[in-house]
Amino acid sequence: MTLGGPAGGRGLIGRSLERQDARDKVTGRARYTVDLRMPGMVEGKVLRSPYPHARILGIDTKEAAQLPGVLGVITGADLGDIDPYFGQAVKDQPLLAIDRVRFAGEPVAAVAAVDALTAEEAARRIVVDYEPLPVVRDVAEALAPGAPQLHVDRPRSTLFPDVQDIKPDVTRNICHHFVYRRGDPDAAFRQADVVFDDTFTLPSVHHFPLEPLGAIAHYRGRELTVWTGTQYPFAMRQSLAEMFGLPQSRVRIVVPYVGGAFGSRELIPAAPIAAALSRRAGAPVRVLFSSEDTARTVVRNGGRVRIQSAVRKDGTIIGRRAEIHLDTGAYTDQGSRVSKKAGYRIIGPYRIPHVEVNSYAVFTNTVSAGSYRGFGTPEVCWAYESQLDIIAAKLGLDPFALRMKNLLKRDEEYAPGDRPLDSDMDQALDILAKEVGWREARASGEGVGLACAIKDGGGTRTSSTAIVRLHQDGSATVLASSAEIGQGVQSVLGQIAAAELGIDPSRVTVTAPDTGVTPFDQRTNASRATSLLGHAVQEAAQRVADQVRAIAAEALEASPDECRLEGGGVSAGGRRLGFGEVIQRFFRDAGGELIGYGYQRPAIGLTALGATASFWEIGLGAAVVSVDRETGAISVHRYVSLSDPGRAINPAGVEGQDLGGAMQGLGPALFEGMVYDEGQLVNGSMIDYRLPLFSDLPESFDAVIVEGGGGPGPHGAKGVAEGSIIPVAPAIANALFAATGARVKDLPLTPERVWRALRSGAGRDA
The string of DSSP codes covering 531-572 is IIIHHHHHHHHHHHHHHHHHHHHHHHTS-GGG-EEETTEEEE
Closest C-alpha among 368, 217, 349, 197 to residue 279:
217
- Of 37-46, 459-468, 541-550, 724-733, least confident by mean pLDDT is 459-468
Q: pLDDT tens digit string along 49-81?
A: 999 999 999 999 999 999 999 999 999 999 999
Specify whether the CB–CB gap between 474 and 569 falls below 8 A: yes
Q: What is the pLDDT, as a whole number, of residue 763?
A: 47
> Measured between alpha carbons, how far is residue 332 from residues 327, 364, 552, 658, 732 in Å?
10, 10, 56, 30, 32
Q: pLDDT tens digit string along 474-507?
A: 999 999 999 998 888 999 999 999 999 999 999 9
Residue ranges with strand state E in 672-748: 676-677, 680-681, 700-706
Q: What is the pLDDT, as a whole number, of residue 42?
A: 98
Mean pLDDT on 510-529: 90
Packing angle, helices 377-395 and 335-345, rounded to 10: 30
What's the pLDDT band for 471 if we cut at 50, 70, 90?
very high
Query: Terminal CA-to-CA distance of the chain, rounded, Å?
Result: 31
What's the pLDDT band for 766 if we cut at 50, 70, 90?
very low
Q: What is the pLDDT, as a whole number, of residue 165?
A: 81
Domains belonging to the chain, first-starting first, are: 376-459+613-762 (3.30.365.10), 462-600 (3.30.365.10)
Which residues, in sequence order, are bridge partners of residue 319? 310, 354
> Measured between alpha carbons, how far is residue 582 from residues 476, 566, 645 in Å?
14, 13, 36
Closest C-alpha among 713, 708, 710, 726 to residue 424:
708
What's the pLDDT band for 765 if we cut at 50, 70, 90?
very low
Closest C-alpha among 417, 565, 426 to residue 504:
565
Question: Can you tell me the distance from the alpha carbon of 20 to that of 496, in angstroms, rounded to the nearest whole number?
Answer: 13
Q: What percentage of residues in the chain have a pLDDT greater than 70?
A: 97
Q: What is the pLDDT, as a whole number, of residue 7?
A: 44
Q: Please, what is the average pLDDT of the chain?
A: 94
**Beta strands at 676-677 and 680-681: parallel, antiparallel or unpaired:** antiparallel
Q: What is the pLDDT, as a whole number, of residue 408?
A: 98
Contacts of 50 (CB under 8 A, 6+ apart): 104, 130
Q: pLDDT tens digit string along 321-340?
A: 999 999 999 999 999 999 99
DSSP letter assigned to residue 189: H
Instruction: Write the single-letter amino acid at 116.
Output: A
Question: Can you tell me the distance from the alpha carbon of 256 to that of 332, in angstroms, rounded to the nearest whole number?
Answer: 28
What's the pLDDT band for 762 if we cut at 50, 70, 90?
low
Report the SS3 class of residue 491.
helix
Instruction: Write the single-letter amino acid at 418.
Output: D
Closest C-alpha among 440, 309, 316, 349 to residue 738:
440
Q: What is the pLDDT, as a whole number, of residue 672?
A: 97
Q: What is the pLDDT, as a whole number, of residue 2?
A: 66
- 42-76 as b/e: b if 16+ CB within 10 A: bbbbbbbbebbbbebeebebeebeebeebbbbbbb
Residue 351 has, within 13 A of its CA and on its CB side, a CA count of 16
Count other C-beta atoms under 10 Å from residue 713's C-beta.
Answer: 29
Q: What is the pLDDT, as a whole number, of residue 412?
A: 96
Question: Can you tell me the distance from the alpha carbon of 581 to that of 588, in angstroms, rounded to the nearest whole number?
Answer: 10
Question: Can you tell me the distance from the alpha carbon of 699 to that of 271, in angstroms, rounded to the nearest whole number?
Answer: 42
Peptide bond into 748 cis (omega under 30): yes
Specify whether the CB–CB gap between 479 and 521 falls below 8 A: no
Q: pLDDT tens digit string along 97-133?
A: 999 999 999 999 999 999 999 999 999 999 999 999 9
Q: pLDDT tens digit string along 201-249?
A: 999 999 999 999 999 999 999 999 999 999 999 999 999 999 999 999 9
Contacts of 741 (CB under 8 A, 6+ apart): 762, 763, 764, 765, 766
Round the CA-based radius of gyration of the chain to a whole number and report it.
27
Residue 757 has, within 13 A of its CA and on its CB side, a CA count of 25
Q: Which of 106, 356, 500, 722 is catalytic?
A: 722
Q: Known catalytic residue: 722? A: yes
Judge whether residue 437 has pLDDT over 60. Answer: yes
Q: What is the pLDDT, as a whole number, of residue 589?
A: 82
Mean pLDDT on 619-625: 98
Judge whether residue 4 has pLDDT over 90. Answer: no
